[in-house]
Structure 1
């Protein structure tokens, strides 16, 4: 007996809706089995992961803080993948963007101005984009595999950050620990609400994700990216 997998002629609307929930359910089941195999209570473990953090306001703030950069990274990578470019170096691009954004409050720490935060955001975007441009340039002009180059650049970014905080950017008040100077209040995003640590970065991430969805669905640029991902030859023919 031979078993073959064939692509559906017409995608199922029902399964398109259910697929994320099915994936989540299978993940929970697999996770429960793994906890059981190592001798832990699966229900208690899964409750600690998925339910307990939602019942505490402090935990919700911490989730928002950690989710904001992941949402931004995921939104950006989705554009790469739709264009059939396999960028897996987002961690390195995130690090280099953070380093570029930190130049203003770390190097010019005596400068206090309302312009500090906007400049940090602009520098962060430019730094991440330029670092992502390296594997893009190598692929476009030298036909280099972007999977390998973007991955290897992650390690370079990590080592560069480690060198900075242990060397030229190490705070003189850190008792020799590898950290930078504390950011001034002008260099910190305002909090969403007064009773927690979550800041406007979470709101920026949601706005960026929605904006990119609108671009991909309703604009010419989004259509061009989709066409390029589906057929490189068609994209080249269209310029």
Structure 2
């Protein structure tokens, strides 16, 4: 009996925003079962992952630090996805942003002044834009799929990072470790909450989300992005250029990913190291969809994903979970979110062969 998807009436906004909550709850339940089946205490593992980061005040600062790059990158990805442009290479743009900011830091190592950090930020955003420039050019000029080009450029960025920290940027006083020199005080993000690790990147992430929300909801550019993504032929009829929109959203997304990269380099890392790629760019894809591609929703989704990341680190110590546990939770969350999206908009119908032939 063949399956058929039939479109439902347009779902309500309440239904659309409740399904991510259902996806998170279902992830918790299934995760509990899976970890119990493979020999771990599933209840304790899920409790550590979802509750400990919220109930332990010492973990709140970790949530703020880890959610900041996720929110910034996901907001940029939401711009692309709303316009039906599929940037999958935010991780590479994040790495290039960190490298560009580090380059400025190394060049200004013997200098001082409040202008250095803003220059690093500008360089980081330019680095992310440069890495997004390539898939934008290939998409608009040669019709090359941006999914493949942006994704493959991620691995080029990682190899470039390894070459630099193992070669010309390697700290001569680093006892052979592949890393750059530590940033100076003028090159580091200031702490916004004394006595914690919460740096300036956390409020910047909130400001970025609010600015993009205002632009998307109150400007011609935001309207253009929505029209090009939902009805490209109507957009052409209305005078909106699809290629120009592709350029704008990819460069904006790359700039925000580069911003996240330079803020991480000047914040938690304080230098460039081979472990700088932390999959923020890939995790931000989940954040973008979990937040319904809405900048305000992305703020809450970024916090939700950071809870999973921080809780997963706690569970590795307390419940003995393997390091891949966080990846399992993220994958399940994305799967259930996408499944819920389909089921909200479509209903599954079983059709007998006779009925199928009669309606063919």
TM-score under structure 2 length normalisation: 0.64
- 1:156 & 1:235 partners in 2: Cα distance? 35
CA shift for structure 1 position 2: 5.2
- 2:148 & 2:63 partners in 1: Cα distance? 31
Match of 1:163 in 2: 163
TM-score under structure 1 length normalisation: 0.95
User: For residues 37-48 of structure 1, what are the structure 2 equivalents within 5 Å?
Assistant: 37-48=37-48
Match of 2:105 in 1: 105
Please list every run of 5 or more consecutive structure 1 residues that lacks an aligned counterpart in the other structure.
none
- 1:68 & 1:137 partners in 2: Cα distance? 29
- Asked if the contact 1:58–1:196 (Cα under 8 Å) also holds between the matched residues in 2, the reply is no
Match of 2:135 in 1: 135
Please list every run of 5 or more consecutive structure 2 residues that lacks an aligned counterpart in the other structure.
242-360
SS state at 1:35 partner: helix
- 1:34 & 1:139 partners in 2: Cα distance? 41
Q: Aligned pair count? A: 239
Note if 1:34 corresponds to 2:34: yes
User: For residues 113-192 of structure 1, what are the structure 2 equivalents within 5 Å?
Assistant: 113-192=113-192
- Asked if the contact 2:100–2:127 (Cα under 8 Å) also holds between the matched residues in 1, the reply is yes
- 1:107 & 1:35 partners in 2: Cα distance? 49
Match of 1:203 in 2: 203
- 1:117 & 1:57 partners in 2: Cα distance? 30
- Asked if the contact 2:169–2:180 (Cα under 8 Å) also holds between the matched residues in 1, the reply is yes
Match of 2:355 in 1: none
- 2:52 & 2:95 partners in 1: Cα distance? 30
Note if 1:217 corresponds to 2:217: yes
SS state at 2:172 partner: coil
User: For residues 46-85 of structure 1, what are the structure 2 equivalents within 5 Å?
Assistant: 46-85=46-85
Q: Which has the higher contact order (CA 8 A, sep 6+)?
A: 2
- Asked if the contact 1:94–1:128 (Cα under 8 Å) also holds between the matched residues in 2, the reply is yes
CA shift for structure 1 position 3: 4.3
Following superposition, which runs of at least 4 residues in structure 1 exceed 6 angstroms of deviation?
none
